[in-house]
Structure 1
């Protein structure tokens, strides 16, 4: 076994998929302990060395909101100034408001992201304001970022189910998503924040966006694996033409404001599936597994990723 799957392509799938790596931000924000800034910066460097070209570094939220990311300035500056990190690397950061944007732009960030909700309840719990008020808050953020030459990505959470409101009407998601795109976001990431989606829902939502005039070139997907559906949902999106998939190295992450949310889709599990389908990712799976194993050691627990456990275990067995 060479650590790679047998390749059997499926007609109609994209030839190449962009992986939007969220481990350093979304993966570490839900940790109970604080990961050292130097380790976070090293995590980004190792992910880049594994071939990932878009790595979400941190979030410029108030430290009281997410203490795990209180070192945003230190981490971003360390990554930015690391000679081992290519200047061509995409290093987006999350910003919740104008204050966060100013902090990010002051450090030279060229890509930022805003985080909206498809449901009213989660908007209140996550941003402490109504859904409409949140969208109004993001409009000047996106505009100011554009004026400064930065690109803004829009995250939309609770696109398939909400722990307080239940199943979410696709029409509601499309309405909020279109409004977020109209603020000037170049891409919209559809989040299954609590991991309840199934492939049929994915198809229905993407179809609803297309009927509203939003093509798949504007859409990315962000799945959590609470019910083991993340890869199935990803494949459903790929079959409809989506070419950007969010994932977290080692399957790290969750959501600090939605306690039922478990880990993100593991980047290694995604790369294994895409490699087996003959889809180019540019990622060295062996290096990626080594990186997640390294981070798992620092967190003091095994990686949740099945691919990491399988390949790291096989490697350990070969050394015995």
Structure 2
């Protein structure tokens, strides 16, 4: 078994991590988080989402956040645009890369996006066509790839069909999300093998939530399968309002610790990342979910 020699991390904390927070987070804190993550070495940082504030009030300041970023030339700052309205707003703000999303579950799609799976894919296609005309890169997300809070088990074939549709419409990469965190390593491998029949492994990314404590194990299983791109969230921020009980994304610090232990390059400073995790957790008034951050903090206290 040969693991990838290098992994690219897509930091989703500023968007997926913060979007469901009940407390209002200031634009200044969001921008500072993005800057700290860039300083830690992360080169892809999903900055915000151009969505309806009615459904996601935390992202109401998307344009203000994006305009306040002091971009580094080596960092890309994609934004989520679920429809043409969001895409147009992102273009007006100066975005250079966007993301679209669908789901492998009909019920979840209707709960999350208020439309069917086919309608969701049509929205994605509309964005992809507009992005192509503007020479803008598009990344795709698939939710519920290893289980749905409403439908239970999701077949690998269902995931593969949605992933293929996103890839065929022009998404340069498709992120496969275990939205409720029920996936296990063997199920992860089976799902990836099914998707890889239609979408090349080098075009796939893993997006794992840690509800059942399996996220880091699923990252490792994905590495064994040949996946070399992973979404993660500093301090384990995140969750999903349409997935009861779902905890946050796999913590970026935990993934970096795993990669370092495997001798895999990711060009991220673990120390700077842990400092950022501690800072944003204080700002939110909670403990970081990351096991690595907690362990390193305990080690410092003992020393």
Structure-1-length-normalised TM-score: 0.93
Q: Determine the C-alpha separation between the residues in 1 that align with 2:238 and 2:282.
A: 16
Q: Determine the C-alpha separation between the residues in 2 that align with 1:78 and 1:256.
A: 28
1:76 corresponds to 2:62: no
CA deviation map 1:196-249 (0-9, x unaligned):
00111111111112233x210110000001111111111111111101001000
Query: RMSD of the TM alignment (CA)?
Result: 1.0
Q: Determine the C-alpha separation between the residues in 1 that align with 2:255 and 2:207.
A: 12
Aligned position for 1:137? 123
Gaps (5+ residues) in structure 2?
Answer: none
* Secondary structure of residue in 2 paired with 1:167: coil
Structure 1 residue corresponding to 2:17, chosen from 27, 30, 36: 27
Aligned position for 1:239? 224
Aligned position for 1:296? 281
Map 1:92-241; keep pairs closer than 5 Å: 92-212=78-198, 214-241=199-226
Instruction: Indicate conservation of the 8 Å contact 1:251/1:265, yes or no.
Output: yes
Cα distance, 1:315 vs. partner? 2.5
Instruction: Indicate conservation of the 8 Å contact 1:118/1:176, yes or no.
Output: yes
Runs of 4+ aligned structure 1 residues displaced above 3 Å come to none
Aligned residue pairs total 303
Select the structure with the greater relative contact order (CA < 8 A; seq sep ≥ 6).
1
Q: Determine the C-alpha separation between the residues in 1 that align with 2:276 and 2:211.
A: 23
Q: Determine the C-alpha separation between the residues in 2 that align with 1:112 and 1:89.
A: 14
Aligned position for 2:41? 51
Cα distance, 1:122 vs. partner? 0.7
Aligned position for 2:32? 42
Structure-2-length-normalised TM-score: 0.98
Aligned position for 1:5? none
Gaps (5+ residues) in structure 1?
Answer: 1-10
Q: Determine the C-alpha separation between the residues in 2 that align with 1:227 and 1:204.
A: 19
Cα distance, 1:23 vs. partner? 0.3
1:260 corresponds to 2:250: no
Structure 2 residue corresponding to 1:311, chosen from 285, 291, 296: 296
Cα distance, 1:260 vs. partner? 2.5
CA deviation map 1:66-110 (0-9, x unaligned):
11111101111111xx2xx41231101001100100111111111
Instruction: Indicate conservation of the 8 Å contact 1:19/1:54, yes or no.
Output: yes
Aligned position for 1:12? 2
Cα distance, 1:284 vs. partner? 0.5
Aligned position for 1:286? 271
Q: Determine the C-alpha separation between the residues in 2 that align with 1:22 and 1:136.
A: 24
Q: Determine the C-alpha separation between the residues in 1 that align with 2:197 and 2:170.
A: 20
